[in-house]
Structure 1
Amino acid sequence: MKKKKQASSNEKAQEQLTLKDTLNAGILEQLKEKQKKLKMEEEEKKAAAEKQKREERRQREKNKSFEELLNESHMDWKRFK
């Protein structure tokens, strides 16, 4: 029973090493560069989307009517009458 467990664990270890070892170093570097590039693009997209949302919020705030601004105010306007 122990031999079967050891044999199967050795096979798994060999399979994992074999996959990594079979990849050419150049291909591995290309994949890593591609991964970095994709991460950078993803971060740029997120930053652009956040910037656009901020700009849209700013434009909505800028275009609010006096009534909307008054309704959103947290002050108790009854005290000032």
Structure 2
Amino acid sequence: MAAKHNRRRTEAAPNRNEDKPATLKDLLNPELLEQLKKTSAELKASEAQQREQERLEREAAKKAEQKRLDNDFEHLLNNSKMDWHKYK
């Protein structure tokens, strides 16, 4: 009886695959699909490079602003701690 059930499962499996509708991947030419994947990878790489460049620019601007503030006596005076007893 168990063998009979196993035969039913193996016979039914190919029918399930045939019942599925064709996907876009199945319908596209493999060369076109490969070209699309390559283009996608190139776009992702350029996007990552652009994000990294923007991060470096923000970091440089922040560093330049901090250097400017460190040379500004008024800013240093306003942001210094007024507890001079610690330094005696």
TM-score, with length taken from structure 2 = 0.63
5+ residue gaps, structure 1 = 1-9
Q: Which range is displaced more, 63-72 or 21-30?
A: 63-72
Higher relative contact order (CA 8 A, sep 6+): 2
Deviation at 1:67, TM superposition (A): 2.2
Q: Counterparts of 2:75 and 2:36 in 1: how far apart (Å)? A: 53
Residue 4 of structure 2 aligns with which residue?
Answer: none
Runs of 4+ in 1 over 4 A off after TM superposition: none
Q: Counterparts of 1:72 and 1:52 in 2: how far apart (Å)? A: 26
5+ residue gaps, structure 2 = 1-18
Q: Matched residues, percent identical?
A: 33
Count matched residues: 67
TM-score, with length taken from structure 1 = 0.68
- Give the RMSD, CA atoms, in angstroms: 2.0
